[in-house]
Amino acid sequence: MKRILLASIALASTVAATAVARPLTINDVVGFSRVGAPVVSPDGRWLVWQQRETDLAANKGRYDLWRLDLATKGALPEPLVAEGDVNETGPQFGANNLVIFQSDKGGKDAIVSIPVAGGTQTVLATPPGGFSGFELSPDGTRALVWADRLPGAPTIEPAEIKRDGNAGSGRVFGKLFIRHWDTWSDGTRSQLFVVPLGKDAPAVPVSGSLDGDSPSKPFGGGEEVAWSADGKTIFFALREAGTTEPLSTNLDIWSVPADGSAKPVNLTPDNDGMDNLPTPSPDGKWLAWFAMKRPTYEADRQVLMLRNLATGETRALTEAWDRSVGSIAWSPDGKKLFVTAEDTQENPIFQVDLKTGKPTRLTQEGNVTAIVPTKKGVVFSMNSLLGPDDFYSLTGKAPTRLTTVNAAKMQGIDLPTITRFSFTGANNDTVWGYSVKPAQLRDGEKAPIAFIVHGGPQGTMNNSWSYRWNPAVFAGAGYAVVAIDFHGSTGYGQAFTDAIRNNWGGWPLEDLQKGLATATAKFPWMDADNACALGASYGGFMMNWIEGNWPDRFKCIVQHDGVFDARAMAYETEELWFDEWEHGGHPYYEDPAAFEKWNPVNHVDKWRTPMLVIHSDKDYRIPVTQGIATFTALQRRGIPSKFLNFPDENHWVLKPKNSMQWYGEVLGWLGTYTGKK
């Protein structure tokens, strides 16, 4: 059976033959180093990145900067900046091979430089009030900084808010988005400022009077803002708030003079769908970004767009390609465009022809997470189901591995076997899935099944590493994992992704049923009659739906952050555009039948499967009351059940100790009902 990810083969070669094989555990995963934000020096010699290490005692991660000499054969990664409790993040290259980065030394956010070969750190700027991130100007003399300030702030100095000493603690709101993801609104927005480096000069606000966040919240970063090649213009993505922000996905691409001499101009006013990832070419000729056509649909196809910056002429470069562009990068000479796009359980690199829009696939297996074009090719980071991110270079037909960051930590770990399979699912469409076989399963033994359903719902259980829902950890605990990319999943064309709308409990459930039947018939080492189902977010909804619509198949269920009552969800969630789009495009009061058709609460009378419910207090996407209601229904029906609540987590479980507790409870629950110790 084939293990997917060519990188795992190279990694296996680093493991000593004398090591005693053992299964992967969550303790291993929590301790792995995590690499990100790679940059390559203009001369192509140095690769620099930020690397996260887990501080278990502090229950958080800490970031250092690392480097690799690409010009020296056999060179090993080494720390560039690693100071105690200081976080060093966001490395970028300035002039003379200086690495410019963000530091929180002394509890103050600063922009700092250090020679890539090592040496003395120099503080270049300490914007008052702190900031979230920055992008270095092409000449290295300024930084585009984003920081939470009041809309239209005339200075980066935080505004002083006078408070009445006799006032109560109440907060008053006049429009929606009173809270978002895991944060209550405090009136501030992510605003943009141009900060001079190395000299005492005031920051220049460039967001104008726009009421919106750039980068967008909660997940936007430096990929949503950019400098023009000549450093005279700033491009950024922003959704104007107004009174419709919770109903709108309409981010637009804006341009503004970097000196703040004019107001921002909307470059994409005619598209009411999302425009994002503004990426100007290094030769100053083009601006690339992606565009979605349909308003309020956050999972529409992301088409690569190209604008001639001299003439303003715009064209949809990948209109004929039925895949969704996930990232964009230009070659240093501005003659090549590299993108990532999900494709049948992989997330590879493609080169897109600037004239025809034709994509050429450059990598085959693995989940590419960052691309840094160089004069010779590309350096990129990639992970898979069998290992976290490492760095590779591509200068010919096959990638060359540059790092094995976690080789020592993975020494002796016996990884599972991954096998992909397809079957005819709902609507007679081809549906893909994969199995994960425990490495230490002996011949003739059967493994109980962990049937994992992904969230989104427009997502995928693809060939990628996860620090939260990690199939290899379940396999390490002795479970056969089955994962199905049901209708609604991404990477199979837009029609397949769209098929879940108004269909949450229909075709997806049929795919899951047929997929599990296919897997258990195909793999004799699976214990078909000893299975538990697990899922989060939409997967959590599906767990509640399975309770009432497939009630006799599983020994137990794990439901994390799932929708229990569609009516309550329609009024409690914050990003209304998502819930309303998924159920036909109307609010609940206009079309209640569309929501009630797939409402798990309507089938509680048929519930009977033991369930572990997990929900966190800071989850504002699917509020914790949905989890409490699920647990109440189970308890009132006398069904064996537990409720795991994290008061300090959001829609995800992120803190190291909480992650370890999560896996302990989940695997313990599975063990109780499958007999697996």
> Burial, 178: exposed, middle or buried (Cβ in 10 Å; 0-12, 13-18, 19+)?
middle
Q: Where are the domains of the chain?
A: 416-674
651 given a catalytic annotation:
yes
Q: What is the pLDDT of residue 167?
A: 87
Q: What is the pLDDT of residue 9?
A: 35
- Residue 242 confidence class, pLDDT cut points 50, 70, 90: confident
- The Cα 582–Cα 503 span in angstroms is 8
Determine phi and psi for 453, rounding to 5 degrees. -115, 125
Determine phi and psi for 57, rounding to 5 degrees. -60, -40
Looking at residues 139-147, what average pLDDT do you find? 97
Radius of gyration of the chain (CA): 25
- The Cα 464–Cα 388 span in angstroms is 8
- Residue 166 confidence class, pLDDT cut points 50, 70, 90: confident
- Residue 244 confidence class, pLDDT cut points 50, 70, 90: confident
Residue 76 has pLDDT above 60, yes or no: yes
Q: What is the pTM of this model?
A: 0.95
- The Cα 6–Cα 229 span in angstroms is 36
pLDDT digits (tens, 9 = 90+) for 503-541: 999 999 999 999 999 999 999 999 999 999 999 999 999
CB 613 within 8 A of CB 559: yes
Q: Edge to edge, what strands does the sheet with 556-560 contain?
A: 417-424, 430-437, 480-485, 447-453, 526-536, 556-560, 611-616, 641-646
617 given a catalytic annotation:
no
Considering 300, 331, 651, 659, which one is annotated as catalytic? Answer: 651
Hey, is 539 helix, strand or coil?
helix
CB 330 within 8 A of CB 373: yes
Q: What is the mean pLDDT of the chain?
A: 95
Query: The tokens of 497 are what?
Result: 């992704």
Residue 17 has pLDDT above 60, yes or no: no
Hey, is 536 helix, strand or coil?
strand
Residue 165 has pLDDT above 90, yes or no: no
Which of 312, 292, 310 minimizes the C-alpha distance to 301? 292
Q: What is the pLDDT of residue 14?
A: 39
pLDDT digits (tens, 9 = 90+) for 440-473: 999 999 999 999 999 999 999 999 999 999 999 9
Q: What is the pLDDT of residue 8?
A: 40
SS3 content of the chain, % helix, strand, coil (to 5): 20, 35, 50
Its CATH class, for the domain covering 416-674, is alpha beta
Residue 44 has pLDDT above 90, yes or no: yes
583 given a catalytic annotation:
no
Looking at residues 574-580, what average pLDDT do you find? 98
Considering 252, 390, 527, 619, which one is annotated as catalytic? Answer: 619
Residue 46 has pLDDT above 60, yes or no: yes
pLDDT digits (tens, 9 = 90+) for 53-71: 999 999 999 999 999 999 9
Residue 229 has pLDDT above 60, yes or no: yes
Which has more pLDDT, 1 or 352? 352
pLDDT digits (tens, 9 = 90+) for 596-641: 999 999 999 999 999 999 999 999 999 999 999 999 999 999 999 9
Q: What is the pLDDT of residue 603?
A: 98
- The Cα 652–Cα 659 span in angstroms is 10
pLDDT digits (tens, 9 = 90+) for 194-216: 999 998 899 999 999 999 999 99
pLDDT digits (tens, 9 = 90+) for 247-279: 999 999 999 999 999 999 999 999 999 999 999
Q: How far is CA 72 from the centre of its chain?
A: 33
Q: What is the pLDDT of residue 19?
A: 53
Q: What is the pLDDT of residue 670?
A: 98
Hey, is 444 helix, strand or coil?
coil
Residue type, 520: T
Which of 558, 389, 554, 416 minimizes the C-alpha distance to 477? 416
Query: The tokens of 350 are what?
Result: 């493609």
Considering 381, 537, 641, 659, which one is annotated as catalytic? Answer: 537
Residue 26 has pLDDT above 60, yes or no: yes
C-beta atoms surrounding 564 within 10 Å = 28
